[in-house]
């Protein structure tokens, strides 16, 4: 039985923390106390570095993430391919990806202990390009974005899907988003909202200067190739908005299914559309 199917058999719980949001460790200590109460048989290991974690990730049966959406994305990339279920507890601002708010953490642990949860399997992307004769490769849970440099001119983008020329346009950039990332930058740029468990990739042009350009939703297994050309010295590649690279030559960027899924714990009673309305629609209205 896989880890995703047997949270009632967990032995080691990892606790990832955004230290900037809990500098005094008060929240961490509270969560650790609750985990010890509801899972007394488990070892709890806490760490706050997603670059060089001090624990053996292979030992984890459940990864509890304390932070906001950015922390959750970092955690998903960290355990990519390890098939470890993730439970997000929001101590950030938006918390669209997280399962519960901090004040509801005890209820969440009770539901997990009682087996009242499901596991969502979220699509992730892999992007690769050549840099100095070395293949650079990264994974994304939200999106891969190619844009012109901050002072650059409009650039030309040629998009190939499964080896076929799909579209070309001039503009500021292009977003390739998973369904998870469809409510992030993709949504702001006019792209579609895609239900999170659909196996698809959204392609959304950023400020296109070519008439008739249409955004696309393509199969999640598609092999995407991006060629960028323009009268500029460099352009940018962004992975989940957290890993950013300046590319100074005309390179080909490849984007594919990563081959693995992020496994997110969803508690009984979770309603995606209710969360969407409250945290995306209502939050946007509150800014006016």
* Residues carrying an active site annotation: 69
- In the chain, DSSP assigns E strands to 12-17, 43-47, 62-67, 85-90, 100-101, 117-131, 134-140, 143-148, 155-161, 164-171, 173-177, 200-206, 216-219, 224-229, 235-239, 243-247, 252-267
Of 63, 120, 113, which Cα lies nearest the Cα of 86?
A: 63
Of 95, 85, 153, which Cα lies nearest the Cα of 122?
A: 85
The SS3 assignment for 170 reads strand
b/e for 69-78, b at 16 or more Cβ within 10 A?
Answer: bbbbbbbbbb
Partners of 228 in the β-ladder: 157
Phi/psi of residue 232, nearest 5 degrees: -135, 165
Phi/psi of residue 46, nearest 5 degrees: -110, 140
Of 246, 277, 259, which Cα lies nearest the Cα of 129?
A: 246
Helix (H) or strand (E) holding 37: helix 26-38
Euclidean distance between CA atoms 248 and 232, whole angstroms = 9
């Amino acid at each position: 039985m896989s880890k995703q199917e047997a949270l009632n058999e967990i032995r080691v719980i990892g606790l990832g923390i955004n230290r900037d949001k809990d500098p005094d460790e008060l929240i961490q200590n509270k969560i650790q106390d609750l985990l010890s109460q509801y899972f007394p048989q488990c070892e709890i290991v806490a760490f706050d570095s997603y670059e060089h974690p001090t624990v053996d990730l292979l030992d984890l049966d459940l990864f509890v993430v304390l932070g906001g959406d950015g922390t959750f994305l970092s955690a998903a990339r960290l355990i990519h391919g390890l098939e470890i279920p993730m439970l997000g507890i929001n101590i950030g601002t938006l918390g669209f990806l997280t399962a519960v708010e901090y004040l509801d953490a005890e209820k969440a642990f009770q539901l997990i202990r009682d087996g009242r949860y499901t596991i969502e399997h979220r699509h992730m992307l892999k992007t690769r390009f050549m840099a100095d004769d070395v293949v650079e490769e990264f994974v994304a849970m939200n999106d891969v974005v190619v844009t012109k440099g901050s002072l650059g001119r409009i650039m030309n983008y040629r998009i190939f899907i499964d080896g076929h020329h799909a579209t070309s346009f001039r503009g500021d950039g292009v977003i390739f988003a998973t369904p998870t990332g469809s409510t992030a930058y993709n949504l702001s740029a006019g792209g579609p909202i895609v239900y999170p468990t659909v196996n698809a990739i959204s392609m959304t042009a950023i400020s296109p200067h070519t008439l008739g350009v249409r955004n696309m939703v393509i199969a999640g297994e598609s092999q995407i190739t991006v060629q960028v050309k323009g009268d500029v010295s460099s352009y940018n590649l962004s992975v989940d908005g957290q890993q950013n690279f300046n590319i100074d030559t005309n390179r080909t960027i490849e984007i594919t299914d990563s081959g693995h899924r992020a496994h997110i714990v969803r508690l009984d009673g979770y309603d995606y559309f209710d969360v969407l309305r409250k945290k995306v629609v209502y939050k946007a209205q509150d800014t006016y």
